Amino acid sequence: MDNIFLALLSFLVFPGFLFTAVVGLFAGWIDRKLTARIQWRVGPPWYQNFIDFFKLMGKETILPANARKMTFLFAPFIGLIGATLVSLILWQMNLYPATSFLGDIIVVLYLSILPSLAVIIGGSASGNPLASLGASREMKLILAYELPFIVAIFTPVVFIKDIRIGSIVTYQINNGMMFTHHLSSLIAFIVAFICMQAKLTFVPFDIPEAEQEIMAGPLIEYSGPPLAIFKLTKAMMLFALPVFLITIFAGGMRFNGIQTLFSIIKYLVILILIVLVKNTNPRLRIDQALRFFWLRMFPLAIIGFILALIGI
């Protein structure tokens, strides 16, 4: 009974839902604030994302007449559960590497797709043609970035010959960060970072939502709590995905002495890079994104993978 209670507490509070949600919303504020300063604006106060979330939670949920109602309402929770589990597993492996289980990196990769699948399911179930178009774009974008992302994530796995996240973290504790010591991991880190930008659907890969073209895309019919959950999930992934990259390539997140400061700095550096890429590039068309990932990122990921096979 105690083990069940501790597992539930971990999922709901730390390092699961509540912790990831709070830090994710705060990371979203950093995104909005830095974006505002780049555009010579003041930007919102630190608590604005929290206000927006609770305001949406208190509004009415309007169901489209042509929507498949159960699927439409359940879709946001699929993404929320996926984002929570990704963060939970990653933090568990960072805090207690010895608890790592065989193939946990594959589990995290699968779970990280759930927020995007939730968007596709929700948009397709809404009955709106613009939402269906956005869902179609989201599906094509997944097919574009997911393969190079998987190859990039598995590059350090090939190098250390272990498929456990805890083993990757332990290796980096003893030998230093993967991307600073191995050319293959540096290449893989660059590919994974660009793919992460697409997984977050940030510019230049915000093609599914494309506000100037198809308004909000798959989310066009969402309102009230379901919309709040989708926005919260995106904020949580803004926290979880950089932690994933730090765990695999940049020494993990450690909280002993000065390593606590280094861990926070590593996350902030990646977050700032995400925001800078977002604010200095135009949106790509879906065909341009497909060509970019298949003809550039995938071959680059394969090069890194081959270098890892030969020990470079």
DSSP 243-300: HHHHHHHS-----STHHHHHHHHHHHHHHHHHHHHHHSSPPPPHHHHHHHIIIIIHHH
Question: What contacts 89, CB < 8 A, 6 or more positions away?
Answer: 104, 107, 108, 111, 165
Quote the domain boundaries for residue 258. Answer: 2-309
What backbone torsions phi and psi does residue 282 show, to the nearest 5 degrees?
-85, 160
Instruction: Give CA–CA dist 50/294, Å, rounded.
Output: 38
Domain count, the chain: 1
Q: Rounded to two decimals, what is the model's pTM?
A: 0.94
Digit-by-digit pLDDT tens for the chain (312 residues) are: 567 778 788 888 888 899 999 999 999 999 999 999 999 999 999 999 999 999 999 999 989 888 899 999 999 999 999 999 999 999 999 998 888 888 899 999 999 999 999 999 999 999 899 999 999 999 999 999 999 999 999 999 998 888 999 999 999 988 889 988 889 999 999 999 999 999 999 999 999 988 777 778 899 999 999 999 999 999 999 999 999 999 999 988 988 878 889 999 999 999 999 999 999 999 999 999 999 999 999 999 999 999 999 988
Report the phi/psi class of residue 233: left, alpha or beta, with left for phi > 0 and alpha for psi in -120 to 50. Answer: alpha
